[in-house]
Chains A and B, each alone.
Chain A
Amino acid sequence: MKIPFLRLYAMAYLLFLYAPILLLPLFAFNDATVISFPLKGFTTQWFAQMAENEALRKATLNSLLIATSSAVMATALGMFVARAATRFRFPGKGGVVGFIMLPLVLPEIIVSVSLLVVLLQLGVSLSAFTVILGHVLICTPYAAAILNTSFGALDRSLEEAAYDLGETKFSTFRLITLPLVMPGIISSLLISFTISLDEFIIAFFLAGAEPTLPTYIFSQLRFPKGIPMIMALGTVLVAMSVLLLTIAEYFRRRGVARTGIKDTGGFL
């Protein structure tokens, strides 16, 4: 019999990739403080404990605020970059775009330490705001790269046609450009949001006394009693991620169907 090596390899690969994530809900509902087999019994107490935890709620709200703000700002900046890069020619364009993309390859620890030094020198006190600044810096290259593709794929004569038919530059952008690059904008928002939400190093250095979810979780790992609650938190986060990606993919496919652009594959 022929052994399907490739199939076995692919299955093993997926197992190692996702099995740890499957352990999250398993132990989140397990009635024991120790994370080990055999399972003891079913409980929802860790979720209840999570819901009551004031520090966790603050960290979550903090993270949501930071991730939302960073995503919106990075996407807005990314749109400027993408439009400039795809529509205009100007001296030094390559260099400018290169500088904007640089944070992609800079070690985050270097970025964090430099930002910390600069902010302290300027006398800015550390808060959620300083984390947002750092996250916008690292999210903007991703947003720019995604939006570059969207703006680049847009036929320039569509904008010219709308302008030719009597619209202003601004109404052309609103009526033609924006709806057609919307899938890119949604992707950019989601990816920036996700990057910001689970970013640790910058948040660790710049958050001051306002921990984000990752820094809070890290701080809780020192206390074994708190671990089942972290498992419950992880379960909620995974469920939310799946939901968010499903929604994004739904909108992307609807956009593809509506505009008849060739489907080049999405996130899923």
Chain B
Amino acid sequence: MSTSRATMIEFDNVHKYYGDYHALRGISARINGGEFFSLLGPSGCGKTTLLRTIAGFEDISSGAVMIDGRHMENVPANKRPTNMVFQSYAIFPHLSVAENVGFGLRRDPRSRAEKARAVEEALEMVGLKGYGARAAHALSGGQRQRVALARALILKPKVLLLDEPLSALDRKIREQMQVELIKLQREVGITFVLVTHDQEEALVMSDRIAVMFEGEIAQLADPETLYRRPNSRRVAEFIGVMNFLPCQVTGEAGGHIQLEVAGLGQVEIEPAQAPGVTRGGPASVGMRPETLTILYEGQQAGGREAPGVVEEVVYYGDMTYYDVRLDGLDHSVRISMRNVFGRPVLDIGTRTRVAWSPGALVLFR
């Protein structure tokens, strides 16, 4: 978790136009010092553009970007307290590993020996001790990634910017690098700003996440809030899997919202479960697959239950995904169940009961 809570980066109503194209549409947000912050969204949502406005590679059309309390207008990229890890890593192919890592120290007044020690320390930090003399182009993808990290961190920037740094790695190495990046960030305590289109990566790594669509921040929250209380159907669909059931908002009583949900019947929810919904009328509720539980014979639901038929079974070894059509619903809902030794996987066509709890619902307009 973060060590310092002061605002490190502040966006104040940032707009960016490319000709007629409105790439950033009024971004306002604060990123805290020492935080692992992610910009998450589909391609073309403006997340990379926003990252590049922090680095100084993109001028903004209006608004303001502040880093550590300093206005960044007219501060070029080479004078900003930020360093970047590029999607392609941008390792200089004609230089050795040590020359790459020490590149930013060229203007450093320290002696040659001290700089060499700093390079060696940076390499050690990313797990590449002794690689200094190697040719940079002979490294594997994961090693290039580490060199890029060491090269950026050796300057001790206030902010490290990472532009889809893991997207070019294969799955195993990517997951390993995710854990290493988190550890590294805690170790150095520098503010990390990560751009990614991979929602799982953002959830795993970040203290807070800004979900972006079409040049706007749709929701800014910590991973758990984002997952459990998405503020719009679009965010809910982008992050993880969510079942949507049509419903009617029928009234409000005693601080609760009353709903009539297809397949589930009458439900009362807290206002916190309805972010962004203000008035009655047709709406939909969302439920994550793991908040639904299939009841085996003799099992009793703690809360409420609904009958249905198993339509599809996908077996993953540790988990089984069931598509169950609840009575009174014209499509099935997805349910994820952890497999337990001795409990059989249900067959398609089995009639079953599904336990659910009103507290797990989210109401969307």
Chain A positions within 8 Å of B, measured between CB atoms, are 155, 157-158, 160-168, 176, 179-180, 258-261
Contacts and interface: CB of A to CB of B under 8 A. Distances in A.
B93 A261 contact: yes
Given A157-B86, A261-B93, 13 more contacts: A157-B87, A157-B90, A158-B90, A164-B82, A164-B84, A165-B78, A165-B155, A167-B78, A167-B106, A168-B78, A180-B94, A259-B137, A261-B137
B93 A180 contact: yes
Contacts of A179: 94
Contacts of B152: 165
Interface string B80-111: 00111011101011100000000110110000
Contacts of A164: 55, 57, 77-78, 82-84
Interface in B219-276: none
B90 A259 contact: no
6 contacts: A161-B86, A164-B83, A165-B103, A168-B78, A258-B94, A259-B93
B64 interface: no
B158 interface: no
Nearest to A168: B78
Contacts of A260: 93, 135, 137-138
Contact of B90 (A161, A167, A261): A161
Contacts of B103: 162, 165
Nearest to A258: B94
B78 A163 contact: yes
A166 B104 contact: yes
Interface string B308-337: 000000000000000000000000000000
Interface of B: 55, 57, 76-78, 82-84, 86-88, 90, 92-94, 103-104, 106-107, 135, 137-138, 151-152, 155
Where chain A touches its partner, the secondary structure class is: helix
A165 B93 contact: no
9 nearest A-B pairs in the assembled complex, by CB-CB distance: A260-B137, A165-B104, A161-B90, A157-B90, A259-B93, A157-B86, A158-B90, A179-B94, A259-B94
B90 A155 contact: yes
B92 A158 contact: yes
B104 A258 contact: no
A44 B88 CA distance: 60
B137 A161 contact: no
Contacts of A176: 92
Contacts of B104: 165-166
A165 B151 contact: yes
Nearest to B56: A164
B107 A166 contact: yes
Contact of B84 (A155, A161, A259): A161
A9 B92 CA distance: 46
A76 B1 CA distance: 54
A38 B35 CA distance: 89
Contacts of B87: 157
Residue from A155, A163, A166, A168 with most neighbouring chain B CB atoms (10 Å): A166
Nearest to B151: A165
B107 A162 contact: no
B135 A157 contact: no
A157 B88 contact: yes
A89 to B, nearest CB: 10
A11 B86 CA distance: 51
Residue from B57, B78, B107, B138 with most neighbouring chain A CB atoms (10 Å): B78
A101 to B, nearest CB: 27
A243 to B, nearest CB: 26
A166 B157 CA distance: 11
A165 B83 contact: yes
A126 B322 CA distance: 89
Contacts of A163: 76-78
A258 B88 CA distance: 19
A166 B155 contact: yes
